Structure 1
Amino acid sequence: MYTLILSISCSVAVSVLLKMARSRHIQIDQAIAFNYVMAGSLCWLLLGPRPETLMHTTAPWPLLIALGLLLPSIFLVMAKAVQQAGIVLSDVAQRLSLLLPLIAAFTIFGETATQGKLTGIAVALVALAALLWRPSNANAQAPGGHGGALAIALLLGVWFGYGTIDILFKQMAKTGSAFPTTLFGAFVMAGLVSFAYLVLRRATWNTRSMLAGLLLGLLNFGNIYFYVRAHQIYSENPTLVFSAMNIGVISLGTLVGAGVFRERIHAINYAGVALAIVAIIILFPR
C-alpha cells in the first residue's frame, strides 16, 4: 500500500508546483522539458536500465512511442483546456478519465468482475462525484470558462489522454524485469518531443523555469515509478490501483487546497473523502 501512498503524494506535489508556477513566472513548457531530464537521470542512476535491449525486436516500441508523445502532450492540452474551458471543467474531465482504465481492467487485463469489486467501483464513482461537486455559481465563475467546439475538443482530449496514459502504465508494469529500461525509454522519448516542441517555437530559455523543471522531474519520477510498482504488486487487481490513485489524488488535493491554499471546501467534498476511503477498503484484496 505504501507504493500507492507515495505515488499519490508525489502526484499532488506536482499539482501544487504547477499551481504555484504561474505566480512565479515559470514557463510550463520549459519546466515540462527539463522535468524529463531529471526523471530520466534518476531512472538511469537508481534503476539501472539497459538501453541496448531496446534495439531488440521484442522491445515495446509502440508503448514507448505512445508514452513519449502522450506524456508531454497531455500537460499542454490540460493547460489549454484550463484557458478555454476553465479549471473546474478541466479537473472534472481529468478525474472522469478513471472510467477508461476501469473498463480496461475488465476488458483488456482480464480482471474478474466480482460483486465486491463492482460495489467498490460504485462507491468510488460516488466519491468522485462528491469530491468534484461545486456550488452552481462556482462553475459560472470559473476563470476562462468559454464554450465552443475548441473547449469541448480540449476537454475530450484531457479525458482520453489521462485515461489512456493510465492504461499504458499498466501495460508497462507487465514488462516485468524490463520495466526500468521501458520507463527510461519513455522518459527519453517524452524529453525529445518536449525539446523539439520548444526548438520549433524558438523558446527563450529561462533559468527559473529550468530549475523548476528539475524539481518537477523529481516528483514526476516518484509519481510514475511508484504508480507502476503498485500495478506490479497488485497485478491481479488493477481496479484497486486505478481507483485508489485517482480518488486518492483528488482527496489529498482537496485537503491540501483547503489547508494550504485556503480554498473553500464544502461538506459534500469532505463526504467524498470519507467515501473514497471506504471505496479503497472495499477494493483492497483480503
Structure 2
Amino acid sequence: MLYLLLSILCTASLIFIFKLYERYGVHTFQAIVVNYVVCVLVGLMFPGGNDVLQPEIFTRTWAYFAMALGIIFIVNFYLIAITAQKVGVTVASVAAKISLVIPVLFSLLVLKTTVKDYTWLNYAGMAAALVAIILSSIRPQAKEGGAKVSVVLAVVLPLIIFLNSGIADSLINYTNQYHLQPHEASQFTMLTFATSAVVGLLAYVYQSIRTKASFRRRSILAGVILGIPNYLSIFFLILALAYFNNDGAFFYPINNIGIILAGAGGAVILFKEKLTPLNILGLVLAVLALVLVSYQEIIANLF
C-alpha cells in the first residue's frame, strides 16, 4: 500500500508543477527536456541503473517496449502540461487518469488476469468516462491572453491525453505481465526515460535551429524539480502493480481515483481553481466511472 500512496502523490505533484511553470514563466518544453535528463541521472542512483548504459540492455525482451513508452511519455507529458496551464489542473488529471478504461479492458480481454462477465454497469462506466472528460473540460469563460480557450484545447486535447495515457498504461501492464521481473523495474524505468530524454533533446535541437530560440537558465531548476517525482512516479507504479499481482483491473481504478481526487483537491486549495457545477459533476462522474468499470474486482479484493 505504501507504493500505491507514493505513486499517487508523485503523479499528482507533476500536474501541480506544470501549473507553477505558467505562474513563474518557465519555458515548458525546455523544462520537460531537462526533466527527462534528470530522470536518467536519478535512475543511475538506483540498483541496476547503470545497466541501461550497456549494449546488452537491448537483448532484453522488454527493451523496445520501454523505448516505445518513452516516446509516448514525452508527447503526452507536454500535452498534459499545456492542458493544466490553459484549461485547468482538474481536467488534466481527469483526462490522464480516467483513461484507466483502456488498460482495464486490455487487462481483461488481452492479459486475462481477471476473468468476469461484463454487466451493464461496466458498460455504463465506460460511457461515463467519456462524458466525465467533456464535463470536467467545460470552461465557458476560460481565457488565455485575453482570448477564450478554443474548443481544441478545452475538449479535443483532453481526449487525446485520454487515449495516449490509456495506451501507455496498457503497455506498462503488458510488459510487467510477460516480460519484466520485479528486480528489473529500475532498468525498465531508466530506459523509458532515457528514450524520452533523447527524443526531447533531438526535438529541442530542431526547434532551436528552426526558431533561433535561446535556452532559459530557469528551465534547468524547473526540470530538476519535475524530474525527481516524475521518475519516482513510474518506479513506484511498477512496484505497486507488482504488489497487486499485476491485476490492472483492480489496481488502476484505485490508483487513478486517488490521483484524480488529489489533483482536484490541489487545484482548489493551491491554485484557487474555480469549478463550475458541470465540472464538479464531471469529477464525480469520473470517480463513479472508475468504480463501475471494475466494481467486480474491487469488491472481490476488498471483501
* TM-score after normalising by structure 2: 0.77
Deviation at residue 142 of structure 1 after TM alignment: 3.5
Judge which range, 50-59 or 220-229, deviates more: 50-59
Q: Indicate if the aligned counterparts of 1:38 and 1:218 stay in contact, CA closer than 8 A.
A: yes
Report the aligned-residue RMSD.
3.7
Q: Indicate if the aligned counterparts of 1:36 and 1:188 stay in contact, CA closer than 8 A.
A: yes
The separation in 2 between residues aligned to 1:135 and 1:20, in whole angstroms, is 21
Residue in 2 aligned with 1:47? 47
Pairwise mapping of residues 90-105 of structure 1 onto structure 2 (< 5 A)? 92-105=94-107
The separation in 2 between residues aligned to 1:258 and 1:119, in whole angstroms, is 34
Residue in 1 aligned with 2:227? 217
Residue in 2 aligned with 1:204? 214
- Report the CA distance shift for 1:248/1:128 in structure 2 as closer, same or farther (over 3 A): farther
Residue in 1 aligned with 2:267? 257
Code of the residue aligned with 2:161 in structure 1: it is V
Residue in 1 aligned with 2:187? 181
Code of the residue aligned with 2:150 in structure 1: it is H
Residue in 1 aligned with 2:79? 77
The separation in 2 between residues aligned to 1:193 and 1:113, in whole angstroms, is 38
3-state DSSP of counterpart to 2:142: coil
The separation in 1 between residues aligned to 2:158 and 2:274, in whole angstroms, is 24
Residue in 2 aligned with 1:66? 68
* TM-score after normalising by structure 1: 0.81
Code of the residue aligned with 1:9 in structure 2: it is L
Deviation at residue 214 of structure 1 after TM alignment: 0.7
Deviation at residue 209 of structure 1 after TM alignment: 1.2
3-state DSSP of counterpart to 2:46: helix
Q: Indicate if the aligned counterparts of 1:251 and 1:273 stay in contact, CA closer than 8 A.
A: no
Q: What whole-Å deviation, never above 9, does each CA across 1:107-145 have from its counterpart, x for those lacking one?
A: 122122347x97996897799689868699x53223453
Q: Indicate if the aligned counterparts of 1:11 and 1:220 stay in contact, CA closer than 8 A.
A: yes
Counterpart selection for 2:200 from 194, 203, 210:
194
Pairwise mapping of residues 1-286 of structure 1 onto structure 2 (< 5 A)? 1-49=1-49, 50-51=51-52, 52=54, 54-55=56-57, 57-79=59-81, 86-87=87-88, 92-114=94-116, 139-143=139-143, 144-147=148-151, 154-174=157-177, 175-176=180-181, 177-202=183-208, 203-264=213-274, 282=299, 284=301
Q: Indicate if the aligned counterparts of 1:173 and 1:229 stay in contact, CA closer than 8 A.
A: no
Code of the residue aligned with 1:57 in structure 2: it is T
The separation in 2 between residues aligned to 1:228 and 1:168, in whole angstroms, is 12
Q: Indicate if the aligned counterparts of 1:81 and 1:90 stay in contact, CA closer than 8 A.
A: yes
- Percent identical among aligned pairs is 22
Deviation at residue 163 of structure 1 after TM alignment: 0.8
Structure 2: unaligned runs, 5 residues or longer: none
Structure 1: unaligned runs, 5 residues or longer: none
Q: Indicate if the aligned counterparts of 1:36 and 1:190 stay in contact, CA closer than 8 A.
A: yes
